[in-house]
Structure formats: structure tokens, C-alpha cells
Amino acid sequence: METAYTRPRALGTVLLQSTNTQNIQSNLPASGSPEWAALLQCAAAHPDLSKLSALLHEVSWPALMTLAAAHGVTSRLASAVTRLQENLVSQEFAHKLRQLQRAQVLSTLQMTAELFRLVDQFRDAGLDIVLVKGPSLALRAYGDTGAREYGDLDFLVRQQDILRATELMISAGYKPEIAVESLSPQRIPGQYLFVRIAAPLLVELHTERTMRYFPLGLPIEKFFTRRQYVSVDGQQIPTLAIEDELLLICIHGSKHLWERLSLVADVAAFLTRQTSLNWEHAFATARAVGAERMLHTGLLLASSLLGAALPQNVQAMLQLERSATRLAAKIATWLPSAGQTPPGIFARALYRVRMRGSLVSGLPYLLRLTFSPTQEDWPTGMENEHDGRFAALRRPVRLAKKYRGGEKS
């Protein structure tokens, strides 16, 4: 297996490297701080500008901008500040916000151009492809492809097409993390990663087999059948049905333990703009893939933390979901730290079980995740199927080391 590529950081994360704030990265403002309260207002479905203005009089701007970068919501902070009547930002930090906005606009333009090129190439080759997250989510949730931070393009393809898709990506000027000769039905990575050779740009291809966090498997044929199209700068781009995309971002948030505010903000913004969402279909799809509690938890977080409006019958139903309510409350306690103080290995295991539902359904889900190796678990230079089986035994050891003591190694 080839050496994995280093993923570029989101644009706002530059602040984590450049701002001297007495080690704020490892001591982020607490949940009761004015910085955290201000950030919640910036990410809210309907920010209270008067409350935000009052909070910004109290914040430490270095701490606030570092916190926003850690949570991936620098763009939301910049957008909210521009809506205020008074100038509450020092010249230094106003300049930094403008720099980050310009960089994000430039990155969005580059990725949009590449999006058009790749979609055309897949279409010409007769390969089905669906854009997930990235520009599609930004457009649907915020009304602007450049309104949220993302560092790559993500597509959904069928597992049976992954060899042809890899060859197409190579012909398009990309280098795969996994060489063509190493592709195997028995060895499925976390995603099929490609880096453009001419200039730094990442593309990830996901299949029904890489989407491990769907409890009962991703129903890819149904997702393709229900796909819709979004207009990106006048180009029609295939993407998920809005109900399927809502479920996907809730499962994605669950996968990452809802450690960053951007994950919750995306759900809240999506719900606010997608008023035609078919709730019966959304809940039916969640039931079909065993992700009801993941969807419920995402909706509760978006509603309770960021004020996302839900239909009255949906809100009433969620109030009866005691387990999801307790999970959302627990997540809210570790969310402000932006993953700097994550749950330990046993707390993570319990979380996975509870996210699936009952112990009966949750324990098999946890075991599958624990013993389903990705490329990080594959032995270097050992590609045969027999050695691949031992990767399943190495995985729990690696995870235990990574999350031992509640800290990421």
C-alpha cells in the first residue's frame, strides 16, 4: 500500500497555527464562556444580532477566532459579523476574516471548476456518480457554495464500478492512494482517496461498502434512483434527494461524535432552508438503515443548540425519545472542546452502542466497526487476502492506542 496523503486543513484552521493565544488550542473557551455563546449565535439558524452584539463586547477575539477555526465555522462568524450595524472587530481581526473569506472564495471557485470537469468525465464514461456534502450541502444549507468550509470533493459511486472509476480518475490527472493492482473486493478502505497531481486538490469516492457507519448498509440503488439535481453556477449536478442527504449528514455527524459545531450547524441550516422536506420519507429511510437514533439525535442537537425549527409533530415525537435526548445532552458537554478532550475508548464504545439503539442491535454494530479494517490497518507491502484477515485483529489494538485515556494520539 502506498503512503497515505496528508489531508489539507480547512481554511479557517490557519488561525490555529498563526494566532498566539497562550495555547488556546488545547484550552479552548469553556461552554459557559462568552466566546462559546457568541459562536452558537453565529451558527444559529436565526442569529439574534442584538444578543450577538452584546456578546462580542465581552469576548477575547483571539480566543473566539481560534474557537471558530477549531469548530470549522469561521465563515459563519465572518457572515454574522458583517450583518451587525456596529464595528466590533479590531482592524487586525477584520483583516484576518477578510483574508479567510477571500481564500475560501478562491478555493470554492477552483473546486467548482474541477467538479464540472469530473462530472462531465464520469457522464461521458457512462458511470453513475452523485455529489455528496461539499458544494451541494453548502448550496442547500446556506444558499451559497462558498458559505461552508470543505477541503475536498466527495462522490458516491457503486462498489462494482470502483475499478473503472479509479482508472478514470488516473486519466483525469489524479494519483490514487490505493494503486489499481491493490484494489480487492476483500479489502475495502475507509474511502477511495485521490490527489490531483497538477495542483493540491483531493477527491474521495465513497461506495456502499466504505460507508461503514450506516448500521444496515447504504441502499445505494435507492439513493441513485431518488437522486436529484442542484444547479451550481448554471450546471446541473447530480446529488442526493434532500431526505437522503439529511440522513447522511446526521450519520456523518454521529460517526464523528458531533465533536465540531459545523456538523450541527449544517443540520440546522439544512432544515431551515429545505422546507419541502418529506418527513415521513426521511424517517422511513432512517428506519430502513437502522439509523433512527442518529437522525433523532442530529435533529435534537440542531433544535436545542441552534434553534432549528421543526414541525410540531416532529418536535413532539422527539420529546418522547428519551434515549436520544440524553445522548444529545451528553454530546453538548463535550462539543465545546472541538475534539480536544474526546471521550475515552470505553465511552466511545458505549456511544456507538447507544447510537444504534438497544444493546441487542448496538453491540453487533460496535463489533462490526471495531473489526472492519480500513487502509490504516492494512500491513504495508502485504496485499494478499490471508494477511488482510489479520488486519481485523490489529484494528481494535490500534483504536485502543489512539483513544486511550480519552485523548487522541
Report the CATH number that the domain containing residue 119 is assigned in CATH.
3.30.460.40
Residues 6+ apart with CB under 8 A from 162: 183, 192, 205, 207
Domain final residue pick, 240, 273, 300: 240
Question: Which residues on adjacent β-strands are paired with residue 155?
Answer: 131, 205
Q: Output the pLDDT for position 409.
A: 35
406: in domain: yes
pLDDT by residue for the chain (409 residues), tens digit each?
Answer: 333 344 444 444 444 444 433 343 445 666 789 999 999 999 999 999 999 999 999 999 999 999 999 999 999 999 998 888 778 888 888 888 888 888 888 889 999 999 999 999 999 999 999 999 999 999 999 999 988 888 899 999 999 999 999 999 999 999 999 989 888 888 899 999 999 998 889 999 999 999 999 999 999 999 999 999 999 989 999 999 999 999 999 999 999 999 999 999 999 999 999 999 999 999 999 999 999 999 999 999 999 999 999 999 999 999 999 999 999 999 999 999 998 887 888 889 999 999 998 889 999 999 999 888 888 888 765 444 445 567 777 888 888 877 775 444 3
Residue range(s) defining the domain that contains residue 365: 340-409
**Domain match, 57 and 147 both:** no
250: in domain: no
Q: Angle at CA 51, nearest 5°, toward 45 and 57?
A: 125
Q: Output the pLDDT for position 2.
A: 38
181: in domain: yes
**Domain match, 136 and 213 both:** yes
**Domain match, 78 and 207 both:** no
**Domain match, 113 and 24 both:** no
**Domain match, 124 and 172 both:** yes
Domain final residue pick, 189, 208, 240: 240
269: in domain: no
**Domain match, 348 and 407 both:** yes
Residues 6+ apart with CB under 8 A from 317: none
User: Into how many domains does the chain fold?
Assistant: 3
253: in domain: no
- pTM reported for the whole predicted model: 0.89
203: in domain: yes
142: in domain: yes
**Domain match, 135 and 110 both:** yes
Residue 180 per-residue DSSP state = G
Q: Is 316 exposed, middle or buried (0-12, 13-18, 19+ CB in 10 A)?
A: exposed
CB-based contact 162:205 (threshold 8 Å): yes
**Domain match, 204 and 138 both:** yes
Domain final residue pick, 212, 240, 268: 240
**Among 9, 12, 19, residue whose Cα is nearest residue 100:** 12
Cell of 105: 472564495
**Domain match, 108 and 79 both:** no
286: in domain: no
**Domain match, 56 and 147 both:** no
Q: Output the pLDDT for position 262.
A: 97
**Domain match, 80 and 122 both:** no
**Domain match, 126 and 176 both:** yes
Q: Output the pLDDT for position 384.
A: 46
Backbone angles phi, psi at 78, to 5 degrees: -60, -40
